[in-house]
């Protein structure tokens, strides 16, 4: 008499499927966390781009501040600069000085006569 051993693979098939599923859960969770949410990779890249843009803007503003600080120092100490700005912005003239207005084109006859 001969006995045949029963293959137990058919009993282990559901268990193998369950193990595969349990191994896939962490992988799927990692993929979800990598791409979704506020701390996902695309959001981190976007924030990195925003940080770089803000750093450039900060550097531009710092350069503008340095320029304005230099202008303030010149206005405090340099009399020639004070005189130039008074003439340009406020139309100030010295005594016995005549101011000539130069227009880029010919003036309109109606505006000259006041009509």
What average pLDDT does range 86-92 have in this prediction? 85
Is 40 a member of any domain? yes
Is 36 a member of any domain? yes
| pLDDT score for 30 | 86
Which is higher by pLDDT, 42 or 14? 42
Is 5 a member of any domain? no
Question: Phi and psi for 97 in degrees, rounded to 5?
Answer: -105, 145
Confidence of residue 62 (pLDDT cuts 50, 70, 90): very high
Is 1 a member of any domain? no
What average pLDDT does range 43-64 have in this prediction? 96
Q: At what angle do helices 79-90 and 41-77 cross, to 10 degrees?
A: 100
Which is higher by pLDDT, 85 or 107? 85
> Which residues constitute the domain of residue 39?
11-91
Distances (CA, A) of 21 to 14, 15, 103: 10, 10, 84
Is 112 a member of any domain? no
Name the average pLDDT for the chain: 84
Distances (CA, A) of 41 to 23, 63, 104: 23, 33, 57
Is 19 a member of any domain? yes
Domains of the chain: total: 1
Is 109 a member of any domain? no
Is 99 a member of any domain? no
């Amino acid at each position: 008499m001969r006995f045949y051993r029963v293959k137990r693979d058919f009993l282990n098939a559901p268990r193998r499927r369950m193990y595969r599923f349990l191994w896939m859960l962490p992988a799927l969770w990692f993929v979800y966390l990598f791409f979704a949410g506020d701390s996902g990779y695309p959001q981190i890249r976007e924030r990195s781009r925003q940080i770089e843009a803000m750093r450039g803007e900060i550097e531009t503003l710092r350069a503008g501040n340095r320029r304005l600080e230099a202008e303030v120092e010149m206005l405090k100490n340099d009399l020639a600069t004070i005189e130039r700005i008074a003439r340009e912005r406020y139309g100030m003239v010295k005594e016995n000085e005549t101011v000539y207005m130069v227009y880029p084109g010919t003036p309109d006859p109606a505006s000259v006569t006041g009509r």
